[in-house]
Structure 1
Amino acid sequence: MTDMTLKPVTVELQLLSVASEMYPFAKTGGLGDVVGSLPRALKQFGIATRTVLPGYRSVMAAFEHPRHVAHFPDVMGHPVDLWEGMARGHHLYAVDCRDLFDRSGGPYVAPDGHDWTDNGVRFAVLSRVASWIACGADPEWRPDVVQSHDWQAGLVPAFLRYEQEAPPPVAHVIHNLAFQGVFPREMLGAFGLPERAFTMEGVEYYGQISFMKAALQLADRIIAVSPTYAEEIQTPAEGMGLDGLLRARSDRLVGILNGIDLQEWNPASDPSVVFPYTVGDVVARRANKRAFQAEFDLPQDPDALLIGMASRLTTQKGADIVAEIAPRLFERPIQMAIIGTGDPAIMRSFTELRARYPRNLICHLRYSETLGHRLHSAVDATLVPSRFEPCGLTQFQALRYGSVPIAARVGGLSDTIVDANTAAIYEGVANGILFSPATPETLLAAIRRAKKLFQQKSVWARLQRNGALHDVSWEGKAELYARLFLEMTGKGPGKSELDGEIAPRRGDTAQRNSTAQRGMAAARMPAARAPRSSQRPTFRTGTHA
């Protein structure tokens, strides 16, 4: 086993982060949370971050004293102004293009619920301007390294490769490989890419253009958001058609877990929590449960297992499985709270279930950051039944607030949850319940297992305490990011010092003490893998994070 004990990072480094969303300005999921919380964590390790965002209304309105950096009269047919400044403690650049970003609706979706038809151009413009910033468009600042996020920023490595001389190195972060930004070959010119880019070694992907494939092909380093996900995406089952490329570049691929902002997620000071509490304060936590039940007209039964799900309501997140098993769950004293938006068919299912089971189910089918915080402070257990989960933040939030996660054994969930099997309970290390595969029957069995453990009050209290004491912060993970960025710029250790065991899984009976071993692993090819299929993959061109 390689010694991955980390030395303090003291070298200062300038980082340009490029993303389509960032909390608190724009957020559809975990991408926004990570982009918003990582810069603060990196700062203590000498990494100063500036983030490039689309000039959404919410971003432009948040600037305190913006500085006009440049005007570009024609970026893919659109005038663009570049602004720089501070906003809510974050150092930002805004790509101000009213034609593309000054709109009602979400970052990717129009008010009618459909993707914006010009999403390709919108995020090509973001990537193009970001590449100019990376190479000196702002005369007052230039980054040492660039970090691009998901498909929306996937052309940043391409523009730096094809349009710039001596560009800074780029690390591309895969938050969700399912969304790849696939567009027709005819859009090459509209995206501002040269003809020489349309090759297998460039942006071409089965005769089309893929922003994600371009990033994976051309970035200097690739970061998956958990060690297990770094393994999974190298297999045909989870590689979404890109497993062959990822295996070929496995020496450039690492897995680093996400974290959450402990100031933002603190039950002792969270204004969303009705009765603030600290670890082990069961009285306040029970009071939060009663208040939550009363607020939504559920019976105030302390012995009813109250489970919650705050998530995008999609098949990836397993929301359809939850809806399918709900009638069987409600045969027992179980209550459920669902918060989120997503697939219209799944949302209709929950609406119908709410009408049938008003004493068991509450549904808040719209996004609410405040209610999400309050849910974790009140529910006994949190459902995370994802079919695949690159990292997941919900389980971190649940653990932090003393809600026991019931989760599928996939991706980052496997790296953060220790299953409450007999041995783990005996050793005192369990903090959740894992099940596999993600099917109605296995989820139902996991919830029934949770119900039995819930009836053993001392055991359940230990699960809650273990979760609340679990390190879900950014600190150790941010240091791994910092060391990787320093290595890329030649200011830090060589790659060999960053190598560790492939996806160091946390056993069901013990937790590793090393934050480094727990949070990061160099990705290597799985021991056994099937050859890549000659069939064309099923493209996921959606634009949700």
Structure 2
Amino acid sequence: MAPSIDSSARVLFVTPECAPMTKTGGLGDVSAALPEALRAAGMDVRTLLPGYEEVLGVMAHAQLRASVRVLGFDCRLLDAGAFIVVDCPELYARDGSPYQSRDGRDWDDNPVRFGVFCKLAALLATPDSPLAWRPDLVHCNDWPAALAPVYLHGERERAATVMTVHNLAFQGLCDPALVGPLEVPASYFTPDGLEFYGKLSFLKGGLVYADALTTVSPTYAREIQTPDFGSGLDGLLRRRRDVLTGILNGIDTQTWNPATDARIARRYDAGRLEAKAENKAALQRRLHLPVDEDLPLLGAVGRFTHQKGIDLLAAAADELVAMPAQIVVLGKGEPEHQRELAAVAARHPGRVAVAIGFNEDLAHAIEAGADVFLMPSRFEPCGLNQMYSQRYGTPPVARATGGLVDTVIDGVTGFLFESAESAALVAAVRRALAAYRDPARWTRIQRAAMARDFSWGEAARRYADLYRRLATVPQR
């Protein structure tokens, strides 16, 4: 039976990454901002993180609270105030990202690495916890945290559980031979449990056994219940739709604020939009493009993947340049997409600039200096850049999917297109540039975009309400 939860609830926020210490995508940003917003709302929220080298490096003050052996591994639990860190060098002290080596290959033992992580999260939510602090609720994020509700399911006295899906495409599939080593009850490995086409699915386990499910936008919550977006789990999600909620992510409105942003050439706000031109000129110079105030500058920042529609942008580039326009792109990802974009830049010197890698300063410079921001995603659970760009008065052109639908008002704060085709992207950019050539209309669009409230306050309130609704959990 789960305990009552009120505004002062103790919440264990379980995540494989948290900015700025470790981040591979939007989950890292969310894992930093949402717990902070919940703490501001009066909740006692502590974030459970694996002890990667980057994490331990900034937590030298952390105090050892317990040593435990989990799934055959010796782990130390370090208390760093708002963070509880799982220190197990054998599993987490590696050169690379949380999930991959530097050459982009998944760590072979990821199921064990995150199985240990989940087992510890579950342990902390039961009377057997070695810590004095015990959560009322465990909030699990994406597949690396998804076995925690599985481990807690059979406990007579336990915390309530929430499973948040940030991207359903990543499911944590592994060999069913690991059922035993992971200490998952064999009775759970069925089509109604963790089995997914012969594999063990971490994420499916969380979706089956958590008390409540959330995802990161209302539209994505509806989309993942369909075959087109459900990644084979749409039937399960339809069955559990009564406990599935879409809660739109927010953004860090202090970090992403053109009025105070130290990373941009000239600060500005909705009342000083003329200063935006200095950021455009600085961006053009930085990326070795001709400085031209009148030539529209299209910007894009993100991972170079099929999901993000980067191939649609590459296919559309010749037509976009001919409108005429300049294009700047920052990101990294799949080698074939990097080659496609490099070829585009080679065809259009002085018109297209591509920066491979990720640079936070340049990301801010693009948001501030571009005239239009491009997000041609095939699917987008929430998306953050379209909110950043609106805050910076850089109207987005985005595909009408997921959180992009929930955050961009077509023709008012940006421009949406339906089909995942380069021709649809080109048509939407034409609409945007028609507005751009009407200065009065463009200023209205910029100011309407900048007036949107994308802070974390509303999301924190929604999660607090969800926690309160989880007052009791019936035995299954």
Range class of TM-score, shorter chain? over 0.9
Letter in 1 for 2:78: W
Alignment of 1:298-309 (within 5 A): 298-309=289-300
Letter in 2 for 1:225: V
Letter in 2 for 1:195: A
- TM-superposed CA distance for 1:200, in Å, is 3.0
Letter in 2 for 1:182: L
Q: Paired residue for 1:362, among 348, 353, 361?
A: 353
1:476 is aligned to 458
Q: Paired residue for 2:135, among 143, 150, 159?
A: 143
Local SS of the residue matching 2:153? helix
Q: 2:403 aligned with 1:412, yes or no?
A: yes
CA offsets 1:152-209 (integer angstroms, 9 cap, x no match) = 11101001114x3311110100100011111121111122212122123321222221
- TM-superposed CA distance for 1:274, in Å, is 1.5
TM normalised by structure 2 equals: 0.96
Letter in 2 for 1:53: L
**Relative to structure 1, is the Cα distance of residues 80 and 160 closer, same or farther in structure 2, using a 3 angstrom cutoff?**
same
Question: Is the contact between residue 404 and residue 467 of structure 1 (CA under 8 Å) also seen in structure 2?
Answer: yes
Structure 2: 5+ residue stretches without partners:
none
Alignment of 1:104-253 (within 5 A): 104-136=95-127, 137-162=129-154, 164-253=155-244
- More displaced 10-residue stretch of structure 1: 354-363 or 376-385: 354-363
CA offsets 1:485-522 (integer angstroms, 9 cap, x no match) = 1211359xxxxxxxxxxxxxxxxxxxxxxxxxxxxxxx
2:446 is aligned to 464
Q: 2:377 aligned with 1:381, yes or no?
A: no
Alignment of 1:382-397 (within 5 A): 382-397=373-388
1:42 is aligned to 38
Q: Paired residue for 1:54, among 46, 50, 53?
A: 50
Question: Is the contact between residue 39 and residue 48 of structure 1 (CA under 8 Å) also seen in structure 2?
Answer: no
- TM-superposed CA distance for 1:77, in Å, is 3.1
Q: Paired residue for 2:73, among 78, 98, 123?
A: 78
- TM-superposed CA distance for 1:140, in Å, is 2.3
Question: Is the contact between residue 402 and residue 464 of structure 1 (CA under 8 Å) also seen in structure 2?
Answer: yes
Question: Is the contact between residue 131 and residue 159 of structure 1 (CA under 8 Å) also seen in structure 2?
Answer: yes
CA offsets 1:104-163 (integer angstroms, 9 cap, x no match) = 11111111111111111111111111111222524320111110001111101001114x
Question: Is the contact between residue 10 and residue 46 of structure 1 (CA under 8 Å) also seen in structure 2?
Answer: no
1:444 is aligned to 426
- For the residues of structure 1 that align with 2:255 and 2:306, how far apart are their CA atoms? 28
Letter in 2 for 1:156: A
Structure 1: 5+ residue stretches without partners:
1-8, 421-429, 492-545
CA offsets 1:363-411 (integer angstroms, 9 cap, x no match) = 1110122221121011111111110111111111111111101000011
Question: Is the contact between residue 135 and residue 168 of structure 1 (CA under 8 Å) also seen in structure 2?
Answer: yes
Question: Is the contact between residue 296 and residue 362 of structure 1 (CA under 8 Å) also seen in structure 2?
Answer: yes
- For the residues of structure 2 that align with 1:329 and 1:135, how far apart are their CA atoms? 57
Question: Is the contact between residue 399 and residue 464 of structure 1 (CA under 8 Å) also seen in structure 2?
Answer: yes
Q: 2:328 aligned with 1:337, yes or no?
A: yes
- For the residues of structure 1 that align with 2:462 and 2:271, how far apart are their CA atoms? 31
Aligned length: 468
1:12 is aligned to 8
2:62 is aligned to 66
- More displaced 10-residue stretch of structure 1: 39-48 or 431-440: 39-48
- TM-superposed CA distance for 1:10, in Å, is 7.7
- More displaced 10-residue stretch of structure 1: 436-445 or 10-19: 10-19
1:281 is aligned to 272
Letter in 1 for 2:117: L
- For the residues of structure 1 that align with 2:36 and 2:72, how far apart are their CA atoms? 36
List structure 1 runs of 4+ shifted beyond 3 angstroms: none
- TM-superposed CA distance for 1:298, in Å, is 0.7
- TM-superposed CA distance for 1:76, in Å, is 2.6
- TM-superposed CA distance for 1:418, in Å, is 0.8
CA offsets 1:404-432 (integer angstroms, 9 cap, x no match) = 01000011111111111xxxxxxxxx100
Letter in 1 for 2:10: Q
1:524 is aligned to none
- For the residues of structure 1 that align with 2:252 and 2:6, how far apart are their CA atoms? 22
Letter in 2 for 1:273: I
- For the residues of structure 2 that align with 1:70 and 1:201, how far apart are their CA atoms? 36
- More displaced 10-residue stretch of structure 1: 146-155 or 261-270: 261-270
Question: Is the contact between residue 172 and residue 222 of structure 1 (CA under 8 Å) also seen in structure 2?
Answer: yes
**Relative to structure 1, is the Cα distance of residues 139 and 108 closer, same or farther in structure 2, using a 3 angstrom cutoff?**
closer
- For the residues of structure 1 that align with 2:52 and 2:40, how far apart are their CA atoms? 29
CA offsets 1:268-306 (integer angstroms, 9 cap, x no match) = 112211111122312211111111111111111111111
1:27 is aligned to 23
- More displaced 10-residue stretch of structure 1: 400-409 or 194-203: 194-203
- For the residues of structure 2 that align with 1:148 and 1:304, how far apart are their CA atoms? 46
Q: Paired residue for 2:308, among 317, 336, 358?
A: 317
Local SS of the residue matching 2:304? coil
Local SS of the residue matching 1:259? coil
Q: Quick one: higher RCO (CA 8 Å, sep 6+), 1 or 2?
A: 1
CA RMSD between the two structures: 1.5
